[in-house]
A and B are shown apart, each in its own frame.
Chain A
Amino acid sequence: MGSSAKRKKEKQKDFQKPKLRVGKAKAKPENFTDTSFKSKGITLNQQSLTLNAPTTTTQFTHHLSLLTSKSDSQRRDSLAHLTTHISSKPSTAPLPTPVSTLLPTLSPLILDANSGVRTNLLKLLRALPAADVADHVVQLMPYIRAGMTHLAPDIRVTAVDILSWLLGIAGEEVVGCAGGWIKTLNCFLSVLGWHTEESAKWSANRAAFGKAGAKGRPMVRVVGVLGEFLDAGVGEVEGDVVMGGKVGDGGGGAGVPVVQMETHMVAKAAQPYVYLNLFGSPRDEEGEMYETREERWRVFQGRFLGPVERGLESARQEGGEVGRASTTVTKVLKEAIEYGRGVGYDA
């Protein structure tokens, strides 16, 4: 029996597991082959060796292409690089690539999942020359609207921030572009939850879906931007005065007895005849362009005045920061109503 026990033990030895210990190197297996080697130099067959560094322009385009990269940090860093590049160059020098080619790659980033990317995007957008952006508001707006109704609250807030920036530099274009008025207002109502009477109440048992975000803050921000938006759309316009002055200038400066010459010339906007919608698909009521204050007021009064007033009322009652923000909006609204009376649309 002794011999058999011994044999058993011997056999068992073969199948014993090696013990692994923390901090110790893993034991090499028996059949391990050492493949390391020493050499004085390594020659690579294919390697591009350029002596001069890439130009700033190529770097710029390279980083632009990296914006669609899969990695979050890569996108963020590229955005940061682009921002510094744009802001550091003299303001008279043109961009390496025009805004019209920049925006198609930038605008999808509004919906980016990573917050760092979005913050950097906002910085980059702020660095862009305002006049160039104003021509491309139409392309930017659908992304902003998509962002405003996004499931993730952080993206909603970013979208609202971007809208605020855009209103700052091109308020007239934002509210006047195709779908810019009704659709955006719809989005605002949806973000604030003011669509129906029931859901607008502060006590409404509204099941909030998804991450709530920082408490209260987003609401304040959205209400504030709504104020800006309404101001741009139906608020007091200094343009009237300016236009009057211009007319005077045009008439007086030329010295020709042509009054209001400006109106007879081709408009200075990038796409002067876009309102004719010659090449696009037919638009419905929501997607229509509302170019004048009067039109916008008519639409607003018919569709949104009720819900907005209701929502503002409840926000005022809520008090605090939200309440304070709501008063500025209320002010804008009051002016607009006054204006509406003047034009002949009674509230």
Chain B
Amino acid sequence: MVKRKLGALEKVEADLPNLQHKIRRDPKSYIEDFRAQHYQYESHREIFMAAPASTTETGLISLRELIDFLAHVADCYPQITKEFPQQLIDILSQHHLILQPELREKIVGSLVLLRKKELLDSATLLQTLFPILISTPSKTLRALVFQKILMDLRSSNAKATNHKLNRIMQTVLFNLVTSDRTSSKGLWAIKLTRELWKRQIWSDAKAVEVMKEASLAQNEKVVVGGVRFFLGGDKEREEMEDESSDDEAIDMGQVRHQAGINKKTRSNARAVAKARAAVKKKERKKSQPHPLNFSALHLLHDPQGYAESLFSKHLQNTKSKLNLDQKLLVLQLITRLVGLHKLHIMHLYSYFQKYLTPRQPSVTSFLASLAQASHDLVPPDDLEPLVQKIANEFVSEASASEVASAGLNAIREICARQPLAMNETLLQDLVMYRKSKDKGVMMAGRGLLSLFREVGPEMLKRRDRGKDASIGLRSGDRKEKRFAEEAAGGIEGLELLEKYKDEERRKKRREAGLPSDGEDDEDEEANWDAWNVDDDEDSDDSGDWVNVQSDVEIDFSDSEDEKDGPPSKKAKSKSTEESKDEDAPAEDKEEESAEAKFSKLATTRILTPADLAKLQELRTEAAVNALVPGAKGRQANQNATRHRDDPLTAEEIEGLAALSAGKQTREERIAHAREGKTEQHKSVTAKRKERKEDQGKSTTNKEKARRKNFLMTLGKAKSKNKRSLVQTRAVLKAHADRARRGGRRGNVGCVN
């Protein structure tokens, strides 16, 4: 008897994946099978609902597999599976505490899958998952749900911002944080918001509001989470952006080259197309304007009220449960807010009084916070006793050198922000420390001196003032800054642009053979025609009136870029107005020379987009140059490069204290010298070789010969021994000849 042959399908008893595959291809034919499986699922669900906690695996097919199957093919039979998502939601939200972990994860995954197939909307999904995230005690489920929520929010914001969904979610988070201030559930709101902030999906005031409420909570963890967000969230966002921009650098040339050499397959072709699309997308992204994202600190509503309530709730309140580190974080946030928004909190400075002793743990952080909290609108009366106290407690011959240098640095940082906090006698005393034997103290003293040479030389002794300051004082250039006096503003880096333009013009003239200092108006005019519609002198005083010239002239001037023509008219009239407003207060006599130049450029010209781009470039260049050690001192550079938003850290206050830590041991010195260097010494050739290999360049013939397998060379070596004299001569001759010609292929086509 011959055995009956079994078809592949007959062998399998119950193969849901197989059925799933068949249904995907032809949903109509398999509707009966699907219906059967749906009833099967219904029965299993019934069994399950009767005893949700039981762990009986029923035979071949479990509820989990059925759910998986249904979720995968649900989109083929929307009528039959109408209730399926809701059933899953019910199971999950009612029984998530007692479900088997695998089933639970499968249900979450299936819900997300249904969301992807659009059988379920995002809001419902999030409203299902979020309560579970908060309430479940299982760590793995929390991680899974968190990841899914995040993914869903990301994907629904991928193409365009889904404002509705974001608003719903933000409201949910806000309510979570504000409803119960003592519970630690707010941590989830923080985690979610921070993650979305980092990815720039949420960058609006509402998200910041959530964090603000979190930092005003009563639970320590929540408070710290909220505070940390304000202190580090923006930096994290920037880093993330940097990472994402430079991670996928595709070398298009290499890809194309490889595609030319390797076997031509469809998948290869696809990979090339993909790479091309990626590069194109990246380029497009590069040309797009940078998204204007405000930092969280700037998006706060009512920073004054916020800072005050933070201060009174966490720092002044004696019942606050925060420990010192947490308090320091809060203090950092408050002082940053004060410095950035120029706030005034009544008792903040007296609060510091208690902590300014060298014995206080992490006193440098307190010092940094104090410096951060001082700005030019703080009454000097508030700061003066603090400065005095720092000087008394920290800076003395008797105190340790690290302590003294930290104190001096702190005083310098305070005075850099509010010079009026210093009095003459104290300053003259402190400046004497520049003669200290200890290097750290000496540097700190010098820093203070150079600061006051700039901001208040008349407070220094005559011999300490330095050349520039003395000359300035004598000629009356320098004037003491009064309390709350505002300097006239300008466009940062405009003088750089002016200089650059001047140089360019000279170069052009030199090339043309003209004296480099002469004027060439017509050239300039031509340049401006490219951008301006009408370039006549009276437009400056005509304000928002625009003289319309004859049609011919307009046509002519529009010829180069038609699109920019009409709006530029408006832009021009507007910008002239603005620039006028700008230099109205700038007519101070003593700043005549510098200011005159600037006003000339800003008022006589309109800065084209090209100019603005150049301006930006010059600015960054100047910033980079400032970092290179050169003529200017390091201290001045530090102040120049610091942005107003950047925090002041304890390390900066400690400063060069490391120098005053005494002599290093030999080992320390060696370790210090070795810090930045690579491990092993390598010869120049080895380095070159490595670089060559990295670049993917080929090897020389010599190298190939050297690397050739020994056994392959044996035959030739043997026969070489047996060669006759004549043969040897012929070979040598041929070799010499070849060398003269330049190899087997010769030097044909070579230039030399």
Contact = CB atoms under 8 A, between A and B. Distances in A.
A340 interface: no
Contact of B36 (A149, A211, A212): A149
A298 B198 CA distance: 62
B730 interface: no
A111 B60 contact: yes
Contact of B56 (A108, A183, A193, A287): A108
Interface string A28-64: 0000000000000000000000000000000000000
Interface string B55-79: 0101111000000000000000000
Contact of B59 (A112, A190, A195): A112
Given A149-B43, A151-B19, A281 B12 contact: no
B692 interface: no
B16 A151 contact: yes
Contacts of A190: 32, 35-36, 39
B33 interface: yes
Contacts of A269: none
B56 to A, nearest CB: 5
B43 A143 contact: yes
B36 A191 contact: yes
Given A108-B59, A207-B30, A209-B22, A151 B13 contact: yes
A209 B37 CA distance: 12
Nearest to B60: A113
A139 interface: yes
Interface residues of A, number: 37
Residue of B35, B50, B59 with highest tally of chain A CB at under 10 A = B59
Nearest to A190: B36
Q: Majority SS of interface residues in chain B? A: helix
B58 A150 contact: no
Contacts of B49: 281
Given A111-B58, A111-B60, A113-B59, A149 B50 contact: no
A205 B29 contact: yes
A50 B480 CA distance: 107
Interface string B1-41: 00000000111111110010010001001111101110110
B620 to A, nearest CB: 67
Interface in A64-82: 68
A186 interface: yes
A190 B43 CA distance: 14
Contacts of B14: 113, 150-152, 210
Interface string A186-214: 11001101011001000001110111100
A5 B9 CA distance: 61
B61 A206 contact: no
Interface string B513-541: 00000000000000000000000000000
A146 B37 contact: no
A1 to B, nearest CB: 16
B58 A108 contact: yes
Given A142-B43, A150-B61, A113 B32 contact: no
A288 to B, nearest CB: 13
B22 A146 contact: no
Residue of B11, B36, B37, B40 with highest tally of chain A CB at under 10 A = B36
Contacts of A212: 10
A171 interface: no
Given A193-B32, A209-B22, A146 B16 contact: no
20 contacts: A111-B60, A142-B47, A143-B58, A146-B40, A146-B43, A148-B39, A149-B39, A151-B60, A152-B14, A183-B42, A190-B32, A193-B32, A195-B32, A206-B29, A209-B33, A210-B13, A210-B14, A211-B9, A211-B10, A281-B49
